[in-house]
Structure 1
Amino acid sequence: TSDTLVYKKSNGVFALNFAKNGNPDKLIVCEGYMDVIALHQAGFTNSIACLGTALTQEQARLISRYTDEVILSYDSDEAGQKATRRAIGIFGQTGLKIRVLKLTGGKDPDEIIKNYGREKFQNLLDGAANDIEYSILREREKYDLDSIDGRSKFLTAVADILSKGNPIEQDMYANKLAAEMAVSKDAIIQEIKRAYKRRTRAQSKEQFNEIVRDTVMPKDNVNPERPKHYKAARAEETLIATIMQNPDFYKKIRDRVNEDIFVTDFNRRVWSALANRLENGRGTDLSLLSSEFTPEEMGRIAQFISMRDRLSNTVAECDDCIKVLEKEKNKMSVSDASQLSDEEFRNLFKNRNGS
C-alpha cells in the first residue's frame, strides 16, 4: 500500500500525541485509525493505532514510555485475532501489563460504538481479560476437554503459556487448572518447568546460530543484509524463485505478501519488480528485469531460478516462506517510529465529521 496521510509504512503510532496527554494509566490499541477516530469522538481519548502492516518492537517500546498497561482492541475476525496473539508477544517484551478486549456485538470498535454506543464499549473494556487468560481461552477452543487426550494436550499448551509468566501467576493458575482438570498441581508445575527449559534451549540455540552466521558468513556485495538475516533471506529467495517458476501462484498469495514483509532490501526490490509485472500481466521473464538491476544483481536473480531442482513448487511452500518471514519480522526492531502532526490529526476529524 502506498503512503498516504493516514497510512505510512514507517512505524508510527497514530494519535499517540493526543492519547499520551494526561499521563494515562492505560492505552487502548486498535487495529486501524478509523477505530481510533470513532473512540476519540466517543470520549475514549486514550486510543491509538500502529501504522504499517503490523506492530513492531519499536512501536511497543515507544508506547511503553507513556503507560503501564495496554488494552488490545483488534478486530474479532481471524486476522484480528492473529494480530492480537502477535501483539501479546511483542508487548510482553516491554514489561507492560496486557489486557485483551473481547469484541461482542460488532467486528471492530467503530461498529460497536455506532450500533450500541459508548456504554457498551465501556462495559467491554471493564471486562477485558489479561493476556494469560486470553491465551488460555484460545487454547480451550482447540481441544476436546471431555477426553483425556484433549485435556492432556490443552494442559501442555497452557504450560507453555504459563512458562513465560512469573512464579505467582504460575502458582495461581496451576491451582485453578488442577481443580478444574482433576490433575495434581505438582504435575502442572513440572510441565511448566519443562516448557520453560524447552523455550530457553531454543532461544540459546538461535542466539548461537546468529553469532555463527555473523562470524563465518562471507561478505555479500549484492545483498549485504543476507548474512545477518540468513534465515529470512533464504525464505525470501525461495518465495521469489517459486513465483518466478509458477506465476499462477501469485494470485493465491498476493493478499498475504507485500514489500514490508521482506527483511532484506535487495530481495524486497526484486519482489517489488516481480509483483509489479505480475499485477500488470507482463510475466516473469528474467530479461524484463534487466533495466532495473545491475549485471551483478541480475546474476543473483538468475541464481534464484537455478533453485528449481530444490523447490517443491507448491503453494504450501510459499505459505511456509511467508510464515518464516512473519516470524523473523516479529523479532526485528524497526527504528524511526513517526507520528502524524496535531494538525493532520485534527484534519482527519474534520473530514470524518463532514462526510
Structure 2
Amino acid sequence: MSAEFPNDFKETVRAQTDIVQLIGESIALSSRSGGREMVGLCPFHDDHNPSMRVYPERQTFRCWVCQTGGDCFTFVMEHDKLSFREALELLAQRANIPIPRSNRSGPSTTVDEKAALLEALAWACAQFHTALLELPEAEPARQYLRQRGYTAETVRKFRLGYHPDDWQWLLHRARGKFTEEQLLTARLIARSERGRLYDYFRGRVLFPILNERAQPVAFGGRILPGADGDQAKYFNSPESPVFHKSRLVYGLSHARDAIRDSKTAVVVEGYTDCITCHQAGLNNVVGTLGTALTEQHVTTIKRFAPKVVLIYDGDDAGQMAAERAVERFLAQDVDLRILTLPGGQDPADYLGEHGVDALQGLVSAAPEAWEYKMRSVWGRVDIGTIAGRQRVLEEMIELLACIPEMAQNVRESLLIADLSTRLSVAEHQVREQLRELRSRPTRRHREPDQPRPQVAADAMRLLKGNLTRSDRLELELLENIFVRGDLAARVRDEVPLEWIQNTRLRELLAACYRLLDEGRVPEFDAVMLTLEDPDLKRLAVWVDEGLHAKNVHGRVDGGEQESPDGCPSFLRRSIDNLKWRRDEESNGRIALQLSAQREGTPTLDEQAEDLLRQATEFHQRRATKRAPLSN
C-alpha cells in the first residue's frame, strides 16, 4: 500500500474523477441500459465487438473478454503502465488536487520537489533545443546531425539540443527561475572539488531522455567530431530522484503505441540507433542508455508487448553481450528473441546499406533466446563428434543452472526436452546432470535485479467463472460483506482468515478486516480504495458485479430475520456453510486417523475412541442437517 498518501487524499482523488470521462478520453463510449452502463472497444486487447463495460454508479469498469477491470486508478495503471503511486499523482494533477508531502520514513524527495525538478529539466530541454536551432555557435552541432542523416522533423520530434562550450551558460540563464540546489539535484550542473558550480554538459549535442509520460528526466550528451580526444564520446546525466537508468529505456514515450500495435518491442544499444530506426519508420524501437540491459528494463518493456527482440551489433562485443542477455533473461515471462547484425554492423549502418525492409525482415526472423544460444555454442564445436555434443550439453546445462528460479518451471521442462531430443541424450540424464550442477555448494547463482511478478492464474480462474464448491462458499461471504459492511465485525469474530482457502479471496477478506482495524466500514468503495494490486481490484469489481447480477442486495434487504444469536439469517447461513465445510474436512481427517489405527489392532485405545466419538457426533449432525450447498 502507498503509505505516503493518506486514505482521505486517495478518496478525494477518486471522488473527483469521473471514470466515464476518464475512459472516454481514450476510447469512444456509448450508453446502454438507460445510462446505467457505458460500452466501448477494450483498449487492452484486440477488441472488435465492444466488450468493455463502464459503470457510472459504481465508478468501475470491466472487460468481459480479457477480464481487465477496476476503478479509475486501475485504468490509468493499465493504460499508461504506471505504478499505483504514479497513477494517483497523475489523477490528482488532472483534478487539480494538491498532492500532500510524502511521509515515508527516512530521507526522500517529496512530490512537490520532484515536480520542481521536472519543471527545471523541461525548461533546460527547451533551452538546449532553441540553442541548437538558433545559436550561430551551434552550427557544428547542426552539421553533425545532418551528417547522421537526421531530418528537421526528427530533430523536433526527439527535441535534440545543444549546450554551448561555456562553463556557466545554463547557470546564468536559470537565475531567478530555479535555485542552484534544484539545478544540482536535477544533475544539470555540478560542483567542483573547490566548490565552484559549473554546467554539466558543455559543447555537446544533447539527447533528452524522457520518462513514459514524455517528461525530460535526464540528457545524453555527445561530443562533436574534432573535440578533445580525452573526453568521453557519450555520457548521460547521473542518476537523480527522477532518473533511474536501470529502469528507464530511451524512446519509450515515442514507441509505446507502435509497440502495442505490433505486439513487439525492439531494443537497440543507445539513443542514436533508436532515433535512426524511428526516422526509417521502425517506430516500435527503444534503446538502452549506455548500460547493460537489466531485468527492470525487460519488466518495463514487456508491459507493452509479449515479444521483445534485442538487437546487438555484429562485432565480437555485441555477440558476447547477446549471450550474456540469454542467461540473464531466459527465465523472464516474455517471448525473448536475439538478433546480431551481420558484418559487424550496428542498426544505423545496416539501415543505411540495406534499408528498412531488410532490417524488419531480420527482426521478424530473429531466433528465440534459447535457440540463439544453442546456435552460438553449436558454431564453436564440431557437432559431428561425441566430444562436441558433450560440450554443447555441458554449456546449455550450465546456462540452465545459472537460472535457479526456472527450477520446477514448465519452461525449463520444455527446454530440457528440446535439449534431450537434439543431442539424442535421455531426458532423465539431462535432468540428473542439471540437478547435480545446481547442488554444488561452490556454484554461484546470479541474483535477479528484482523479484519476478507471479502470474495471477488463480485470479484469472475466478474471473472466468471456474469456481469450486469452496470458492462459492467463500464468495458468498464476501458478497454479504460488500452489501452489509456493517456486519463485517460479526464475520471477523466467527471466521478466521485461515478458514478461507482461496488465496485471492482470502486477500480480499483480509482487506476488509484491515478496514475494521482502522475503524472503517468495509463496503465496496472503501475496499477498492485500500487495494493497489490490479488483480485484486479486478477481483473486487467481479465480486461486486456478481452480487448485482444475482440481486444479492434484494435478498439481503428482504431477509432481515435474525437467527437466535441475533445474526441476520442470510449471514448466519453463509457463516454456517463455512463451519460445516470445516467440520466435513475435520471428519475426513478423523476417518483417516481411525483407518490407520484400526489396521491390525483388534481393540481401540482411548485416543481412537475419542476420534470415533467425534465422527459419530458429526454423522448425527449430518443426519439432522441437509448439506448447505452441493457441487
TM superposition score normalised by structure 1 = 0.51
**Paired letter, 1:37:** I
Query: Who is 2:420 aligned against?
Result: 174
1:20 corresponds in structure 2 to: 256
Q: Does the CA contact (< 8 Å) of 1:56 and 1:333 recur in 2?
A: no
Alignment-derived partner of residue 310 in structure 1? none
After superposition, the C-alpha distances for 1:276-324 in whole angstroms (9 at most, x for unaligned) are xxxxxxxxxxxxxxxxxxxxxxxxxxxxxxxxxxxxxxxxxxxxxxxxx
Q: Structure 2: how far apart are the matches of 1:199 and 1:8?
A: 40
Alignment match, 1:29: 267
| 1:199 and 2:435 aligned | no
- CA offset digits 1:313-355 (Å, max 9, x no partner): xxxxxxxxxxxxxx7xx74459xxxxxxxxxxxxxxxxxxxxx
Are 1:135 and 1:161, in contact at CA under 8 Å, matched by a contact in 2?
Answer: no
Contact 1:14/1:48 (<8 A) preserved: yes
Gaps of at least 5 residues in structure 1 are 179-184, 208-326, 335-355
Pair 1:28–1:94, CA change in 2 (3 A): same
Return the alpha-carbon distance in structure 1 between the equivalents of residues 334 and 237 of structure 2: 25
Contact 1:69–1:97 (CA under 8 A) maintained in structure 2: yes
> Per-residue deviation at 1:25?
1.2
Residue pair 1:35, 1:110 contacting (<8 A) in 2 also = yes
Cα distance 1:113–1:104, how it changes in 2: closer, same or farther (>3 A)?
A: same
Match status 1:147 vs 2:385: yes
Asked if 1:109 corresponds to 2:347, the answer is: yes
Instruction: Classify the secondary structure of the residue corresponding to 2:325.
Output: helix
Q: How many Å separate the matches in 2 of 1:95 and 1:190?
A: 27
**What is the aligned residue count?**
204
Note the 1:331-342 alignment, pairs <5 A.
Answer: 331-332=448-449
Report how far residue 113 of structure 1 moved: 0.4
User: Structure 2 vs 1, CA of residues 154 and 90 (structure 1 numbering), >3 Å: closer, same or farther?
Assistant: closer
* 1:68–1:177 CA distance, 2 compared to 1 (3 A): same
SS of the residue aligned with 2:342?
coil
Deviation at 1:105, TM superposition (A): 4.5
Q: What SS does the aligned partner of 2:309 have?
A: strand
Kept after mapping to 2: 8 A contact 1:36/1:48? yes
2:35 corresponds in structure 1 to: none
Give the letter for the 2:252 counterpart.
L
Q: Which residue of the partner structure matches residue 162 of structure 2?
A: none
Q: Which amino acid aligns with 2:394?
A: T
Specify the code of the residue in structure 1 equivalent to 2:320. K
Q: What residue identity is the alignment partner of 2:249?
A: V
Q: Deviation per CA, 1:234-281, whole angstroms, max 9, x where unpaired?
A: xxxxxxxxxxxxxxxxxxxxxxxxxxxxxxxxxxxxxxxxxxxxxxxx
**Partner AA of 2:418 in structure 1:** M
Is the alpha carbon distance of 1:147 and 1:119 closer, same or farther for their aligned partners in structure 2, counting shifts above 3 Å? same
Q: How does 1:125-274 map to 2 (within 5 A)?
A: 125-161=363-399, 165-178=411-424, 185-186=425-426, 188-199=427-438
User: C-alpha separation between the residues in 1 aligned to 2:423 and 2:264?
Assistant: 29
Cα offset for 1:190? 1.2
**Residue aligning to 1:47:** 285
Identity among equivalent pairs (%) = 28
Paired with 2:279 and 2:395, the residues of 1 have a C-alpha distance of 40
Q: Deviations over 1:193-229 (max 9, x none)?
A: 42144236559x769xxxxxxxxxxxxxxxxxxxxxx
Matched, 1:98 2:375: no
Specify which structure has the higher proportion of helix. 1
Distance between the aligned counterparts of 1:82 and 1:32, measured in 2?
A: 17
Aligned equivalents of 2:318, 2:352: Cα separation in 1: 19
- The equivalences for 1:36-75 within 5 A come to 36-75=274-313
What's the offset of the Cα at 1:81? 1.7
Distance verdict in 2 for CA 1:79–1:124, change over 3 Å: same
Alignment check: 8 A CA contact 1:26 1:67 kept: yes
Within-5 A mapping of 1:307-322 = none
Answer 1 or 2: which has greater strand percent. 2
Amino acid at match of 1:77: D
Label 1:167 to 1:101 Cα distance change in 2 as closer, same or farther (>3 A). same
Question: TM-score when scaled to structure 2?
Answer: 0.30
The residue type equivalent to 1:198 in the other structure is L
Q: CA deviation at 1:148?
A: 2.6
Match of residue 598 from structure 2 = none
CA distance in 2, matches of 1:106, 1:82: 12
What secondary structure sits across from 1:21 in the alignment? Answer: helix
2:357 match: 119
